[in-house]
Amino acid sequence: MDRALLAAVSGIDANQTYLDTIGNNIANVNTDGYKQQSADFVDLLSEQIAGASAPPTTPNGAGVNPIAIGSGVRVGAVSNDMSGGSLQQTNQPTDVAISGNGFLVAVQGGQQVFTRAGHLTTDGNGNLATPTGGLVQGWEAVNGAINTNAPTTGITIPTGQVIPATATTEITMGGNLPAWNGTGTGTPITTTINAYDSLGNAAPVTLTFTPVAGTANAWTVQGTVPNPSTPGTPDQLWTTPPTVTFDPTTGQVKTITGVTANADGSFSLPVGTMPAGYTFPAGDTWNIDFPIPGTASAFTQFAGQSTAKAMTQDGSAAGTLSSFSINPTGTIVGSFSNGLTQTIGQIALADFANPGGLETIGNLNYITTPNSGQASIGAPGTGGRGTLIGGSLESSNVNLATQLTNLVVAQEAYQANTKVVNTDSTVTQSLVQMA
């Protein structure tokens, strides 16, 4: 009778833990990044009443199985279900969801912690942080480059960060000039693009292509830039305008006065005289680039309307950080007011040989244990780690229907064990009354 009572008491205790686990799961059904837990039961040591005997060598008997009675149950483990939850789009730039394996790495209170909760924020210093104050770890960019072989550090996204101005060195042409047969008076074609000096001052460059009278497929090119000190009298980029000649068969650039074609067939026409009135670096010059003939971006001469245009230039004014986004590799890309983008940093992910061996310490944080293995930290999308989805959050992976079903099972088991206690008490009273 004592054995039955003790077994029932252990069952009550174990099922109370089961109920506690279910209650915690249900309470966190709407907690982003939460991983549901399950209580795993194991039986207690059995008391052997009789041992087994082997079958006799003569055919007049049989072997006997051992007789043992268990002494109850206990919770052998409370396991974390590390399967992914559903993803919800939030459109918040600091929110990230992990698709696949891995944990965000943070440092909180001097301790390295790991979490799947991607509801990140930036503090007053621009540090990327978890809601509970952990500093998210990764790598900060140096001149837009990331070194993932370096130790991880906190990541800062300073609002109002400034990238310096960059002086223009290349202006790239594209589009099509209308075919010119050399007869009559052709119409000049102009295109204007802003170039920049080293302080970020815009210098509007106008390139004018003029058909050469009497020479088919030939155009002179002249560039002009307004001079701030002499309004109405622009600076010219060439004393003698170069001539661009097109192949009459292919419509591609064939020669440019004074310029040798590059190895790939493209042309880089250097500006003869840099415009005055701007703070261009000493010795600086511009190249007017004509892309590789025959490619989609080539500068051509075919029949039809003009689409000739200065397509791009490589300079920029200074710019301040206006927004940012996080891509699947964890790279944080800043968008600046001058229209440029630049890498700010990269978020790290950690993976483990046994994620289920991590210890839960609250606030959706985990720490390593001897059975989880050491953290393998690297860039998202590498080494079996998952990728990040910016502007989204991973929901709790609690299945409410399953938890409610488990709740009924735990309740029935709890009540059944209390029934054993009541029955044992009644039997004991009957024995006492016999005395």
Q: Are residues 300 and 187 in the same domain?
A: yes
- Domain count of the fold of the chain: 3
Of 277 and 178, more confident: 178
Reported as a pLDDT band with limits 50, 70 and 90, residue 347 is very high
Q: Are residues 359 and 305 in the same domain?
A: no
List, for residues 229-241, the tens digit of each pLDDT value: 888 889 999 999 9
Cα 347-358-139 angle, rounded to 5 deg: 15
Q: Are residues 341 and 413 in the same domain?
A: no
329 is a domain residue? no
Q: The tokens of 34 are what?
A: 């939460």
**Distance between CA 163 and CA 315 in Å, rounded?**
12
Alpha-carbon dihedral sign for residues 277, 278, 284, 286: negative
Q: Are residues 201 and 280 in the same domain?
A: yes
Is the pLDDT score of 250 beyond 90? yes
List, for residues 77-99, the tens digit of each pLDDT value: 888 888 889 999 999 999 999 99
Mention every residue, 6+ apart, whose C-beta is less than 8 A from residue 260: none
Cα 30-34-37 angle, rounded to 5 deg: 110
**Percent of the chain predicted with pLDDT > 90:** 71
345 is a domain residue? yes
**Distance between CA 332 and CA 154 in Å, rounded?**
13
**Distance between CA 105 and CA 42 in Å, rounded?**
34
Query: What pLDDT is attached to residue 29?
Result: 95
Indicate the residue type of 142: V
Query: What pLDDT is attached to residue 149?
Result: 93
Q: Are residues 401 and 360 in the same domain?
A: no
Q: Are residues 141 and 189 in the same domain?
A: no
Is the pLDDT score of 59 beyond 80? no
Reported as a pLDDT band with limits 50, 70 and 90, residue 62 is confident
Of 355 and 425, more confident: 355
Q: 19-56 burial by CB neighbour count: b if 16+ within 10 A, else e?
A: bebbeebeebeeebbbbbbbbeeeeeeeeeeeeeeeee
List, for residues 380-434, the tens digit of each pLDDT value: 999 999 999 999 999 999 999 999 999 999 999 999 989 988 887 787 777 777 7
Element holding 413 (H helix, E strand): helix 400-434
Mean pLDDT (whole number) for 362-377: 94
Which stretch of 49-63, 260-274, 297-311 has the lowest confidence by average pLDDT?
Answer: 49-63
**Distance between CA 427 and CA 104 in Å, rounded?**
58
94 is a domain residue? no
423 is a domain residue? yes
Arithmetic mean of pLDDT over the chain: 91
Is the pLDDT score of 1 beyond 60? no
Q: Are residues 248 and 207 in the same domain?
A: yes
Q: Are residues 379 and 408 in the same domain?
A: no
Mean pLDDT (whole number) for 211-225: 96
List, for residues 14-54, the tens digit of each pLDDT value: 999 999 999 999 999 999 989 999 999 998 877 777 878 78
* Residue 327: strand, helix, or coil: coil
- Tell which residue, 373, 393, 421, has the closest CA to residue 5: 421
Element holding 14 (H helix, E strand): helix 2-27
324 is a domain residue? no
Q: Are residues 270 and 218 in the same domain?
A: yes
Q: Which domain holds residue 144?
A: 100-159+335-393
List, for residues 110-135, the tens digit of each pLDDT value: 999 999 999 999 998 899 999 889 99
Q: Are residues 151 and 176 in the same domain?
A: no
Phi and psi of 401, rounded to 5°? -60, -45
Q: Are residues 187 and 233 in the same domain?
A: yes
Reported as a pLDDT band with limits 50, 70 and 90, residue 320 is very high
Does pTM top 0.85 for this prediction?
no
Of 422 and 171, more confident: 171
**Distance between CA 329 and CA 332 in Å, rounded?**
9
**Percent of the chain predicted with pLDDT > 70:** 100
- Tell which residue, 4, 22, 29, 5, has the closest CA to residue 75: 22
Mean pLDDT (whole number) for 140-157: 92
Query: Alpha carbon of 98 to those of 88, 290, 353: distances in Å?
Result: 11, 45, 18
List, for residues 276-298, the tens digit of each pLDDT value: 888 888 888 999 999 999 999 99
180 is a domain residue? yes
Q: How many CB atoms lie within 10 A of CB 411?
A: 14
Query: What pLDDT is attached to residue 435?
Result: 61
| CATH number, residue 255 | 2.60.98
Strands 392-394, 87-89: pairing is: antiparallel
Cβ neighbourhood burial of 202 (10 Å; 0-12, 13-18, 19+): middle
Q: Are residues 305 and 221 in the same domain?
A: yes
Q: CA end-to-end span of the chain, whole Å?
A: 17
408 is a domain residue? yes
Query: What pLDDT is attached to residue 53?
Result: 78
95 is a domain residue? no
**Distance between CA 71 and CA 10 in Å, rounded?**
8
Phi and psi of 9, rounded to 5°? -65, -40
Is the pLDDT score of 319 beyond 70? yes
